[in-house]
Homo-oligomer: A and B are copies of this chain.
Amino acid sequence: MVVRIAVAGASGYAGGELLRLLLAHPDVEIGALTAGGNAGTRLGEHQPHLAPLADRVLAESTPEILAGHDAVFLALPHGKSAELAAALGEDTLVIDCGADHRLTDADAWDRWYGGEHAGHWPYGLPELPGARESLVGARRVAVPGCYPTGTSLALFPALAAGLVESDVVITAVTGTSGAGKSLKPHLLGAEVMGSLSAYGVGGSHRHTPEIAQNLTAATGSPVSVSFTPVLAPLPRGILASCSAPLADPATDAATIRQAYEKAYAGEPFVRILPEGQWPTTAQTLGSNLVALQVTVDPDARRLVAVSAIDNLTKGTAGGAVQCMNLALGLPETTGLPTTGVAP
């Protein structure tokens, strides 16, 4: 089987990571590469690390150019995906790395993103309860946001098992590639290096409703999410520090751990670390792994869960390729690294 793919938004960070993974995927043939403002330029100008594709010239992100592929990956700003997807055939697998089709609730979409909701597609986080089934054979997939990936997986097993109350607090620290190649002063190297900064505080980050949606689905009742993202001086990686009050103050760490081991039994990309070892983002760099550890804070009587992912790999492009594999009936792990690049 040869899967012919196209990537729209190939000059950005998500597009670059998709191509890095797809180049190593044994069943994939790389077709059209398109871009917005960078159309007409060589890919090598923007993604010099993708040496085998350096001389490919970027085309425009039009339906005509994207048509005729088995799978089309959209790595575009939000609001651009629906129209493109509509113009592609229903048989084409369209995997949207943007936000357009993640939220199920049109009102939430309007509040957080503004404008008309493009509708909801199968949600590409196979490790969530019931999600994998909806992805097998799908032809439209909404890839989760990077924060929702790392945080939902850190918290849902405890919530689903009723071990904690539905009131979670999350601080997630991220590298700067999560903001994309945006030319904004606060993303300049001189600003970023040697500094830590909070942003989107007070629940104002757009990933907040997506995290709440995932956790609410896992629990069956509304989960309150207090989410603070922090920008740190590294290119890639999200370390999520997550906590919630224990439902029963007597619950011990072993009980929590068992719930996580059960929830993730057989999951190829979730690694619960040995007791006492805490995740680092470096161990996941460039891989599709989620490194996870949980414990109980004995004084505060809270669960504390910490997850580490690479925001561009499992948090975006790796998750997207995992969904492609599921959608097309390939082994789910094909082409996806389970070792990080460290140090």
Which A residues fall within an 8 A CB radius of B?
13, 16, 20, 23-24, 42, 44-52, 54, 167, 169, 171, 173, 175-177, 181, 183-185, 187-199, 201-203, 208, 212, 224-226, 228, 230, 232-239, 241, 243, 253, 271, 273-274, 277-287, 289, 291, 293, 295-302, 304, 306, 308, 337-343
Contacts and interface: CB of A to CB of B under 8 A. Distances in A.
Nearest to A196: B239
A314 to B, nearest CB: 12
B342 A16 contact: yes
A341 B184 CA distance: 21
Nearest to A307: B198
A49 B197 contact: no
A52 B300 contact: no
A306 B183 contact: no
A196 B173 contact: yes
Most B CB within 10 A of own CB, among A50, A191, A273, A279: A191
A90 B284 CA distance: 39
Contact of A286 (B203, B279, B286): B286
A188 B185 CA distance: 9
A339 to B, nearest CB: 5
A219 to B, nearest CB: 16
A194 B193 contact: yes
Contact of A48 (B20, B54, B277): B277
A292 to B, nearest CB: 11
B241 A198 contact: yes
Nearest to A286: B341
A193 to B, nearest CB: 5
15 contacts: A47-B342, A48-B280, A171-B171, A176-B188, A188-B188, A189-B189, A191-B282, A195-B342, A197-B279, A198-B241, A201-B278, A201-B306, A202-B297, A228-B243, A233-B233
